[in-house]
A and B are shown apart, each in its own frame.
Chain A
Amino acid sequence: MTRRVPSLPDTPKDRVQRRTAAVLLIGIGVCLLFLGGRLIHINTAMRGRLLSIASTQYRSRSTLPARRGMIFDCRGRVVAATKNVSDVFVDPSRVEDVDDLAEALAARVNLPATDVAAKIRSRAGRRYVLIAPRVDEVTADAVRAMKHRAVGLSDRALRTYPLGDSMGHVLGFVGRDGAGLEGIELDHDQHLRGRAGRRITIRDARRRALYLSSAHAPEPPIDGGHLVLTLDAEIQRIAEQALAETVAQFEAKSAVAIVMDPRSGDLLAMAGVPSFDPNHAGTVSPETRRNRAVTDTTEPGSAFKPFIICAALEGGFVSTTEQIDCHDGVHYFGRRRVTDTSPHGLLDLKGILTHSSNIGMGIIAHRMGNEVLHETARRFGFGAPTGIDFPGEAPGFVRSLHRWTSYSTNAVCIGYEISVTPLQLVTAFAAIVNDGLWVQPRLVKTLLSADGEPMRQAEPPRIERRVASPATARYVAGELMVSVVENGGGRRAQVGPYKVLGKTGTAKLPYRDRAGYEPGAYVSTFVGAAPASYPQVVVLVMVRRPNAAIGYYGSLVAAPAAGKILAATLAYLDVPADEQVATAGL
């Protein structure tokens, strides 16, 4: 229905005027309608691209860092912690009176005012000069209270290791971004780091934050959990001290000591020399940072003999009373010449181990044959990682059986032609001490949540494996290896009131770049346990490249250090001496 409003004047000319005006105005209206359609077009076809522009220009995503969990030793001592520190910096372009500011700032950050002034002047006109890195929270608050427009603070988390260079190889360290890079810090990084939160801030064109009701709620960070290690900082210190003395005395290249609880597999100490301080990880070469106890492999030498003897007894290849002719110090097995340090003649099993007779071992090994020898090495865990919760563990090396030769029989039985890590060696030794039960070693005792509650479900199942019968294991440990310390090469390990058992080893080191053994290059080993009647701890000391002119036999270099560690550790653990136990009728 159209309504025509009557108006005057009303000539044909007026009507043409009205219609022309109406057409033109309706034309403008049509343009407006078209622009309405354009609005829909912008909000559909162009929307995605435009929204991404909007989002990148005014939404800034920031992470809310999670606090990294602490690491404790088995007695609750803090060995790794995170603290909040701040870097104090100055924007020199905003400083009006340098001396005035330097004086005020110096008093708060505890630096000489002249130094601060010199730093600011050295970068005059620039926007940033670092005045004091890593100041603590109290200092930071004092600086913040100045409210000076040229002074700024950037907060960050700093990982600190209160023990310094003690335990450094085990703990590892974290990178600048707070991620674990080595050691326990790397292996349990997921647990320790927690999860960072996120916040989306809307900012104006000058990057100032806007607080709009439409903003998203921030996602809070989840702090990392804590770790309790099996290591004991005090035993670690004992081991490190003994190692340091030994290395100094024998001018050795490096050394490793491991202290282990044979029943639980808990490692009480894992020390390496040269040591390394994770507080300054960046300044240390990767060579030094390496945890040699799990990464370095070597031929074990005579320290390997107890495992062969265990297997020989188990398989009935030799009896405890049999007398074996060890000849006059030199014997040919086929074309292979084997020597002892001195001629022994007839020896029983105890004698062979006590005097570490290579000829005696060779005779027994030939009775066993390569297949049994190979199986023995594998059963005691050699040639495969122990599965300890530590990154970069070396598997060692046991050659495949089909590649063994007739020479291998004589080599393997005295600890050559296979390579082992110190950890594998001490774990296998602990199996003998632990009545023939091989227990997987571990470094982490408990995982704690961020609130400090134990997380039981997080503990992996322990692996245990029988490697010898209890009777055999007790005989080898309690008789044969006690004799090694009483009458053989282990004499120097007998320190203090606890009766020590153990085995020495002295292995030649091969050339690094060609076949054959390097003259004068040795690894001196002692693996032992005490007290002999109810062993509480197993200790391994392995000293690499002692100065051969001073001494290189395991009995001379490694045994005394192991003895010191055993005596001090047992005293620290309040273990009663053998005689007291005997008197008490235990």
Chain B
Amino acid sequence: MSDVIAIRPQQRVTLPADVAEAHSTCTGLGDALVIVATALMMIGVVMVASTSISLDHSWFGAGFWGSPFCRHLAFALAGFALMLLTSRFAPQVLASPVWRGRAAAILFILAIAGLAAALIPGLADPQHGSHRWIRLGPKAMAIRYQPSELTKVAMVWIIASLFTRLGADPRSFRRSFLPAAVAIGGCVLLVGSQDFGTAALLGVVGLAMLLVAGCRPRHILTLSAIGVGAMSVLLLAFPYRLARITAFGDYWSDPQGHGYQAIQSLTSIASGGWFGQGLGAGVQKFGYLPAGQSDFIFSVICEEMGVLGGFLVIGLFGAFIWLGLRISWAAASRFERLLAFGLIAIIGLQATMNIAVATVVAPTKGISLPLLSAGGSGLLTVCLAIGLLAAMARNGERRIANAE
């Protein structure tokens, strides 16, 4: 098979022209990823439109910014543009060790500053008792920014950067492991004080990145143990989180209380059957299923499009992970490989956790479904990540072409 190429270490290969030509057929990884992401976003726009049907006001009754559908549509368009722009302009940044370091610093400072700002009373916009948002602009058309979303990209970036900077050695405790562990711990603790689900996500992905980077297993195990301890403290410090987890086991015992969300979500999925009630024809969104536009949009998809619709979303996320895996595999540098892995792991794991919550396999965490749930910050951040992945796919392909 002419297109199967075994590469031995330290071997410089010069591919014949016809083999390079054959490879051009599989160079569309970035485009494929953008297409899959766009498909998911479009489903999201349709489902947010469907769930925002209400008897209280028309779609536009509460003004453009008051309408969840309009906001989401605007963010989806902006996210799409961000995705394309990033994939066009990020390759140079990613390829330059100097810019990688600067970008790491900028992202990290922005993220930490945002997380801190969310705790400052003047800027904060507390919702349901937790400080997850910052309000920017006047109240009427305020953009509520959720800094924990950017923190995901920032943490992945800085870990990738720490392990690939000059003089880095993953097996060294002092030179690489400790800085990375501090970065992970800082992000997890800052986010975790307000948002347990996202903190857990960050912690798991951070550990996975240490594993991929090649840290010593005992270092990782020690850090995991510390992480579990910290999580336990966070759980015990905020009784509602503990209640959510203990309620998870026996949600049938209190269908109107702590079991309500779980049962309503399952009810939505079951009423969809195999083929769904039809787009827009679901009933659970009319006040029965809480957070139908955001955390539980998967249940609404299943109610209106059935198991088939659920499979479509799961399949698209599967394809998404597969494409990300191949981008990471073919990445042009170790930095990009780590970054690509981190980004795809964040998105894939978040999707999995969200669907696990919607299908009541895991307790409620307040994690949205990437690309589908309503919510501007999350959508823009994921689009940024996908743009970066597409850019890395482009760099990888260019590297192969150069190698040829």
Interface residues of A (CB under 8 A from B): 1-14, 16-18, 20-22, 24-26, 28-29, 31-36, 38-40, 42-43, 46-47, 50-51, 53-54, 57-58, 202, 204-206, 208, 210, 212-214
Contact = CB atoms under 8 A, between A and B. Distances in A.
Contacts of B382: none
B349 A206 contact: no
A10 B281 contact: no
B403 A6 contact: yes
B9 to A, nearest CB: 6
Contacts of B112: none
A12 B338 CA distance: 16
B99 interface: no
A35 B361 contact: yes
Say whether chain B's binding surface is mostly helix, strand, loop, or mixed: helix
Contacts of B26: 3, 5
Contacts of B355: 32, 35
A204 B287 CA distance: 6
B318 A24 contact: no
A6 B26 CA distance: 12
B288 A25 contact: no
Contacts of A1: 1
A120 B311 CA distance: 59
A25 B324 contact: yes
Given A7-B331, A36-B310, A36-B311, A28 B287 contact: no
A584 B99 CA distance: 133
Given A8-B399, A28-B345, 18 more contacts: A3-B4, A4-B4, A6-B7, A6-B13, A6-B400, A8-B403, A21-B337, A25-B325, A26-B325, A29-B318, A29-B321, A35-B355, A36-B314, A50-B263, A50-B270, A54-B267, A57-B288, A208-B55
Contacts of A57: 267, 288
A39 B359 CA distance: 7
A50 B264 CA distance: 9
B6 A22 contact: no
Contacts of A33: 314, 318
Contacts of A28: 321, 345, 348-349, 352
Contacts of B333: 9
Contacts of B338: 17
A204 B55 contact: yes
Given A10-B9, A36-B314, A43-B273, A5 B330 contact: yes
16 contacts: A4-B6, A4-B7, A8-B332, A8-B403, A11-B10, A21-B325, A21-B341, A22-B328, A28-B348, A29-B321, A35-B314, A36-B311, A39-B302, A58-B284, A204-B288, A205-B287
B64 interface: no
A217 to B, nearest CB: 16
A549 to B, nearest CB: 74
A18 B329 contact: yes
Given A25-B321, A32-B317, A39 B269 contact: yes
Say whether chain A's binding surface is mostly helix, strand, loop, or mixed: helix
Contact of A39 (B4, B307, B352): B307
Contacts of B288: 57-58, 204-205
Contacts of A40: 307
Interface in B1-26: 1, 3-7, 9-11, 13, 26
Contacts of B356: 31, 35
Contacts of A3: 3-4, 26
Contact of A7 (B1, B212, B310, B400): B400
Interface size of B as a range: 35 or more
B213 interface: yes
Contacts of A22: 325, 328-329
B266 interface: yes
Contacts of A6: 5, 7, 13, 330, 400, 403
Contacts of B324: 25
B332 A17 contact: no
Contact of B266 (A5, A50, A204, A212): A50
Contacts of A7: 329-332, 396, 399-400
Contacts of A8: 332, 399-400, 403
B9 A5 contact: no
A58 B286 contact: yes
Contacts of A202: 283
A28 B325 CA distance: 11
Interface string B324-368: 111011111110011001001100110110011001010000000
Interface in B289-321: 302, 307, 310-311, 314, 317-318, 321
Contacts of B4: 2-4
A1 B3 CA distance: 11
B273 A17 contact: no
Contacts of A51: 267, 270-271
Contacts of B334: 9, 14, 17
Contacts of B314: 32-33, 35-36, 39
A7 B213 CA distance: 17
Contacts of B341: 21, 24-25
Contacts of A20: 211-212, 214
B329 A21 contact: yes
Nearest to B329: A18
B212 to A, nearest CB: 5
Nearest to A209: B55
Contacts of A39: 269, 302, 307, 310-311, 314, 359
B293 to A, nearest CB: 15
Contacts of B263: 50, 53
B214 A13 contact: yes
A16 B337 CA distance: 12
B193 interface: no
Interface string B38-74: 0000000000000000010000000000000000000
A261 to B, nearest CB: 62
A265 B308 CA distance: 72
- 9 closest residue pairs by CB, A with B: A205-B287, A204-B286, A50-B270, A5-B330, A21-B341, A7-B330, A28-B348, A54-B271, A25-B325
B352 A43 contact: no
A18 B325 CA distance: 9
Contacts of B348: 25, 28-29, 32
A30 B136 CA distance: 40
A38 B349 CA distance: 17
B173 interface: no
B287 A17 contact: no
Contacts of B255: 53
B12 to A, nearest CB: 9
B83 to A, nearest CB: 21
Interface string B139-157: 0000000000000000000
A28 B321 CA distance: 8
B266 A46 contact: yes
B278 interface: yes
B238 interface: no
A270 B19 CA distance: 111
Contacts of B278: 214
A133 B93 CA distance: 81
A24 B356 CA distance: 18
A378 B103 CA distance: 114
A14 B9 CA distance: 10
Nearest to A2: B4
A405 to B, nearest CB: 75
Contacts of A208: 55
Contact of A10 (B7, B270, B277): B7
Contacts of B266: 42, 46, 50
